[in-house]
Amino acid sequence: MAINNDNDCNEIFDEVIKSRRSTRFFKDEFPSKENIEDILNAGMLAPYAAQAVGNNEDFRRFFVFKNGGKSIEIAGDLMHKKAQEGLDHFKKMIVEKPFLKGKVQSFMDKLQMIVDNGVLGVGTAPYFVIVAELRGVPPVEQESIAHCLENMWLKATELGLGFGLVSLTSQMAEDEEFLKLLDIPKGKYALNGCAIGYPSKQIPTTTRPDTKKSTKWLN
């Protein structure tokens, strides 16, 4: 079906793009399963690196964790452990190479926050969703996942749901216990994740630099 290019459609689309924000705090109320399925369908429709993964039906998979279940508790614990390992690694690194401190400090602060408070979005939102993308050559799976997550994010926004990225998920792609939980083999997929639910407060639209000032047109 061709899309309708009328003005109403255009305005609604612009409104969804402008309304998309990162949600980090959620109500306890669960969105409907249909809403989550619609969001996953939007993700499945996002581009994937066909040339990199070849003719493979299994190029993208979704794992939906519901808050309160055993699986999300295990995932949260393993991710917390991963953040602690990362923090220890960076602490050791800056003792050996102090000149790197400035570069890694803000990431270390983020890891410290996870170590202190748990993973934001895993156990603090009704749903934690993992996207797994088949690895290929060249290795562009994280780019494909980003396209997928953006489609999901816009669909969630259209449905009045909040959405937040949980980037630490990407670090779990080699973790044997985590992969056992997902029941996928090591090395086959790249991972990333997001939290979905009703936002606990409405987040206003954001401001961005003036696109005109950031754009150079070339002959």
Ligand X SMILES: Cc1cc2nc3c(=O)[nH]c(=O)nc-3n(C[C@H](O)[C@H](O)[C@H](O)COP(=O)(O)O)c2cc1C
Toward ligand X, which CB reaches closer, 18 or 89?
A: 18
Residue 153 token pair: 């994010």
| Of the candidate residues 53, 75, 114, 166, the single one contacting ligand X (CB under 6 A) | 166
Cα distance between residue 146 and residue 43, in whole Å: 10
- Binding flags for ligand X, 107-126, as an x/- string (CB under 6 A): -------------x------
Whichever of 86 and 164 has its CB closer to ligand X, that residue is 164
Enter the tokens of residue 31.
């969105």
Q: Counting contacts by CB under 6 A, is residue 142 touching ligand X? A: no
State which amino acid sits at residue 99: F
Closest residue by beta carbon to ligand X:
167
Q: Please pick, from the candidates 39, 132, 154, 165, the single residue that binds ligand X as defined by CB under 6 A.
A: 165
At position 135, the amino acid (one-letter code) is R
Query: Which of 19, 22, 71, 171 forms a contact with ligand X (CB under 6 A)?
Result: 22
Q: Are 125 and 200 in contact (CB under 8 A)?
A: no
Q: How would DSSP label each residue in 149-181?
A: HHHHHHHHHHTT-EEEE-GGGGGGGG-HHHHHH
The verdict on 167 binding ligand X (CB under 6 A) reads yes
User: Residue 101 is inside which H or E element, if any?
Assistant: helix 101-117
Contact string (CB under 6 A) for ligand X, positions 188-207, x = contact: ------------------x-
The residue within the footprint of ligand X, chosen from 162, 164, 197, 199 (CB under 6 A), is 164
What is the number of other CB atoms lying within 10 angstroms of the CB of residue 148?
24
Residue 20 CB, nearest distance to ligand X (Å)? 7
Residue placing its CB nearer to ligand X in the complex, 22 or 200: 22
Distances (CA, A) of 8 to 11, 15, 152, 193: 5, 11, 22, 32
Count CB atoms within 10 A of the CB of residue 199. Answer: 19
By CB under 6 A, tell whether 147 contacts ligand X. Answer: no
Degrees, nearest 5: CA angle 68-153-31? 35
Contact between 21 and ligand X by CB under 6 A: the answer reads yes
Stretch that binds ligand X, among 44-52, 72-80, 89-97, 163-171 (CB under 6 A): 163-171
Stretch that binds ligand X, among 8-16, 91-99, 159-167, 173-181 (CB under 6 A): 159-167
Q: Return residues touching ligand X (CB under 6 A).
A: 21-22, 24, 120, 164-167, 206
